[in-house]
Amino acid sequence: MKYETTVFTDSRTGDTCTCIHHPSGLEIRVMEQPDFSTAHAQFGTKYGSINVRFRKAKDTEFTEVPAGIAHFLEHKLFENEDCDTFSLFNQIGANANAYTSFDRTVYLFSCSDRFEKGLEILLDFVQKPYFTEQTVAKEQGIIAQEIKMYLDDAGDRVFYQLLRGLYHNHPVTIDIAGSVESIAQITPELLYTCYRTFYNLHNMVLCCTGNITAQRVLEVADRLLIPAENEGLESAFLPEPETIVTPYAATKMAVGKTMFMLGFKSRPERGEEELRAALISMLTFAAIAGPASPLYQKLMAEELINDTFTTDYFSGDGFFCLLAGGESDDPQAVEDALLAEIERAKTEGLDAALFETLKRAAYGEAITANYSPEGAVSTLVDSFMTDRISPFARGEVLSKLTLADAQECLRERFRADRVCLSVIAPDGTEG
């Protein structure tokens, strides 16, 4: 069988990734690491909780489905007609799992032996859905309990409260698991509709790393992959204003200390531009308020924050925001100090030496991320989900970022009129 193949090479380390465009429609990414004793595989689809409105090229109208159906579908795929898939992996000594996020669903396993058998199990069960009225009803009860548990998770609540404060229409505000009401609407027919739409091999990727070879992967793939027609899948979101919904949102819960998260809503990007925006935003925020910054040390000394305080970015299809959060007795004072420091840095400039230190550290992390099969397989999946960019793009992009880029990021993405503060306060206190 002939394959269309692309080889990605990291010019700095010499690491390579073989990307095979399989005749079935599936993209297969393989990083051979013969010095390791373990192997990892992840089989993923670009289908997450935000994909609730979609159509194929032949469709004239969009299909809308209940929130939480992607996560529900992930749970149900592990059950086939005659056995539980986890037991099959256990029999060969492999560790298996799966996860659903906002923009993807991924099934995975790792092993130190019998890799081909594990890959057979993975490719087989993901391609064989089995849903009945009885099994769906049973799962609705299980996931409803899971949703109720998350309602008591303060970290989960402060995050989604923030997203609802930032986004008017984007479904990123909806819990990945959906709601008790939304999952009650799920039927076997809806599950099959979503499966046939998003589990099309043209929308999926298989990534393998560790003590394996591309040839071994292809021998299994050639036997088990069921060819699919590219049906021109399109997910659609309602128009999203640049403005935020509210600058402040608060809830009281049974927590020992006030939790907060603030976010700057910003312009979403695609592909390598999304990666570049995420990396420069991460470095800029760390220079402003990371552990090595003067502001962080000042807030710690004043006991306005503790070591739970972190900065990060959050991006995907149609959304991009910059996050900071932790515990504080006075979240508003933290926000005020942060906004004041941002305005100062816009005028006086960021610390050039600190920026370079942060950049070198991030670059080192990007390079070493692929040193283990577990880290490498996640890199391969991430790069595919980011519009199929090179798995080595992170290091390449970081190496080219400059202090001037950070200053531009500061002006464009850290806007005081695009920030929301989300607070979870203890019961019996002012929110």
What confidence tier does 430 reach under pLDDT thresholds 50, 70, 90?
A: very low
Residue 83, pLDDT > 90, answer no
Q: Is residue 313 part of a domain?
A: yes
**174 and 284 share a domain?**
no
pLDDT confidence of residue 12: 87
Q: Are 386 and 275 in contact (CB under 8 A)?
A: yes
**184 and 39 share a domain?**
yes
DSSP string, 231-260: ---EE------SS-S-SEEEEEES-SS-EE
- Residue 210's SS3 state is strand
Q: Answer with the one of 180, 206, 235 that is the final residue of a domain.
A: 235
The DSSP bridge pattern shows strands 105-111 and 204-210 to be: unpaired
**254 and 226 share a domain?**
no
**281 and 386 share a domain?**
yes
Give 160-176 pLDDT, tens digit per residue. Answer: 999 999 999 999 999 99
pLDDT confidence of residue 69: 98
List strands edge to edge, sheet with 419-426: 248-253, 419-426, 259-265, 319-327, 310-316
Q: Answer with the one of 214, 235, 256 that is the final residue of a domain.
A: 235
**138 and 273 share a domain?**
no
Tell me the mean pLDDT in the region 136-144.
95
pLDDT confidence of residue 431: 42
Give 393-428 pLDDT, tens digit per residue. Answer: 999 999 999 999 999 999 999 999 999 999 999 986
Residue 2, pLDDT > 90, answer no
Specify the number of domains making up the chain.
2
**141 and 38 share a domain?**
yes
Q: Is residue 242 part of a domain?
A: no
Q: Is residue 35 part of a domain?
A: yes
pLDDT confidence of residue 417: 98
- Residue 352's SS3 state is helix
**229 and 253 share a domain?**
no
Provide the CATH number for the domain around residue 361: 3.30.830.10
**211 and 252 share a domain?**
no
Domain coverage including residue 122: 4-235
**219 and 259 share a domain?**
no
Proportion of the chain above pLDDT 70, given as a percent: 99
pLDDT confidence of residue 6: 95
Tell me the mean pLDDT in the region 299-320.
97
Q: Are 63 and 94 in contact (CB under 8 A)?
A: no
User: How many residues does this entry show for the chain?
Assistant: 431
117/310 Cα distance (integer angstroms): 42
**169 and 289 share a domain?**
no
Proportion of the chain above pLDDT 90, given as a percent: 95
Query: Does 273 qualify as catalytic in the annotation?
Result: no
Catalytic residue among 74, 139, 335, 341: 74
Query: What are the distances in angstroms from CA 245 to CA 165, 170, 335?
Result: 5, 12, 17
